[in-house]
A and B are shown apart, each in its own frame.
Chain A
Amino acid sequence: MHPTIPYVIAALLFGLGVFGVLRRRNAILLLMAVELMLNAVNLVLITAGGTHGQTFALFVIVLAAAEVGVGLALILQLYRVKTSVAVDEIDLAEKS
């Protein structure tokens, strides 16, 4: 097994994730791009780390699940307030 192949795949997936996070306006699509990045990191961990790398990959998967849960709660609340989930329409200085 040549570890270069999964490493290059992971690098490309990470690049796609960065591209998606910077390009997408819709908060849900942004979360999907973040998932791509987390998967790239997991791929590196599993290729490199043997048993301990796999344990860390499991931890990262759990963190991703928690992140998606809280992220969706935030997105739904944003939609309730703004009736839109476009991230560049959020006014961070707004008083509530």
Chain B
Amino acid sequence: MTGADVLLLALGAVAVGSGALVVLTDHLVRAGLYLVVCLGAVAGLYLVLAAELVAWVQVLIYVGAVVVLLLFAVMLTRAPIGRSEDLNRPAWPAAIIGGGAGVGLAVLLADAYRWVEVAQGPPGTAELIGEAVFRTWVLPFEVLSILLLSALVGAIVVSRGQR
């Protein structure tokens, strides 16, 4: 157990705990706020795993933009502020499939990796990631920009409605 392991365990407990609250709570707005905690903890995990740039992009885009968009949607659909009773379907089938997927994957990965020790790679600074993006992954990067453009146009067309 090194210091990094302890940090990973602590942040992972926060992430999984708040993730559970996201899918279990009866308050729509609170689900969004728990999602902030969960995504923040995952950003902390990225930092411990030496992925600096991705951690800050996670904070900027997920915590900053995606959650704000989701909370906008909560407000625009006039969701009740208090607890709502009609958010869920029966939990049993979902619990069996979700729990099966989660525990199954966990057992599989734990069995595959046992308790091997892996050396940390170089920290993923903006310089390193930028080089990887623009030397090796240029084409996916450009395709992604076209995808963003089409998502933008699509969102505008869908929300304009038929007039």
* Interfacial residues, chain A to chain B (CB-CB below 8 A): 1-20, 22-26, 28-29, 31-33, 35-36, 39, 42-43, 46-47, 50-52, 54-55, 57-59, 61-70, 72-77, 79-80, 85-86, 88
Contacts and interface: CB of A to CB of B under 8 A. Distances in A.
Contacts of B77: 28, 75-76, 79, 85
Interface string B1-21: 010110011001001100110
Contacts of B161: 77, 80
A12 B88 contact: no
Interface of B: 2, 4-5, 8-9, 12, 15-16, 19-20, 22-23, 28, 31-32, 35, 38-39, 42, 45-46, 49, 51, 53-54, 57-58, 61-62, 65-66, 69-70, 72-74, 76-77, 79, 84, 86-89, 91, 93-95, 97-103, 105-106, 108-110, 113-122, 124, 128-129, 132-133, 136-137, 140-141, 144, 147-148, 151-152, 154-156, 158-159, 161
A62 to B, nearest CB: 6
A46 B143 CA distance: 22
A2 to B, nearest CB: 6
Contact of A24 (B9, B87, B128): B87
Nearest to B145: A62
Nearest to B77: A79
Contacts of B129: 51, 54-55, 58
Which secondary structure characterizes the binding site on chain B?
helix
B8 A58 contact: no
Name, among B20, B72, B84, B101, the residue most crowded by chain A CB atoms within 10 Å (CB to CB): B101
Given A2-B5, A54-B132, A76-B73, 16 more contacts: A3-B116, A5-B12, A7-B113, A9-B12, A12-B106, A19-B23, A19-B102, A22-B98, A25-B87, A32-B32, A36-B23, A39-B42, A47-B49, A58-B54, A69-B151, A79-B77
